Homo-oligomer: A and B are copies of this chain.
């Protein structure tokens, strides 16, 4: 198999840097295809960890200065690992995060870190949307994507058709009816976010259970990754105990 620079239409992508490479090898060694390194990497702490993790799944480590430089977008990247893109069905009885019209690669990566931090591990991405396997997103995620179930949907209807009847939908809007801190979330639920420039479309404005994050009118909106972080934090801290003790995925 020969590898080329990242292309959103190809079936593989790259982790850039030691941290996301380690997360890949720890959580989804089945996806790792080949590890490309620069000579400098062999002197780092990260190398020892990567070498050990690569043994069992037998992933080849290949020194290739030119290739690492070519696939990495930032300087000082010493390791880039090719991995198979993946999609998986979402769990029908677990809680979901739903992103509609997600536009920014960095924000999407940051959102996946929020999800892993607060134990919601099913991500529905409704198109149009940025590519979650873009190496820039994988980098911003710090490898968190390898701990998630991720599925793309063509439109909102395709997503809602995939759900069981007992699911509760909670759309987030700046004009939402209830304050986030007052909501009693009922499992299984889906937290639904639009993007920060246009929010959620009209199909959600008249839904029940719309939620707003209280904020001053001095800003148009919060950054979308911040909004999702606040929502996930509130869901878990509202249970009156330290989530670290009860998160199913800790």
Contacts and interface: CB of A to CB of B under 8 A. Distances in A.
A229 B118 CA distance: 15
Interface of A: 19, 106, 110, 113-114, 116-119, 142, 144, 147, 179-181, 213-220, 222-223, 225-227, 229-230, 233-234, 236-237, 242-244, 247, 249-250
Nearest to A230: B233
A181 B181 CA distance: 12
Contacts of A19: 220
Contacts of A110: 223, 225-226
A96 to B, nearest CB: 17
Can you tell how many copies of this chain the complex includes?
2
Contacts of A227: 229
Given A179-B242, A222-B113, A223-B110, A118 B233 contact: no
5 contacts: A113-B223, A116-B218, A214-B233, A216-B250, A218-B249
A147 B214 contact: no
A237 B234 CA distance: 10
Nearest to A215: B117
A117 B230 contact: no
A227 B243 CA distance: 16
A219 B113 contact: yes
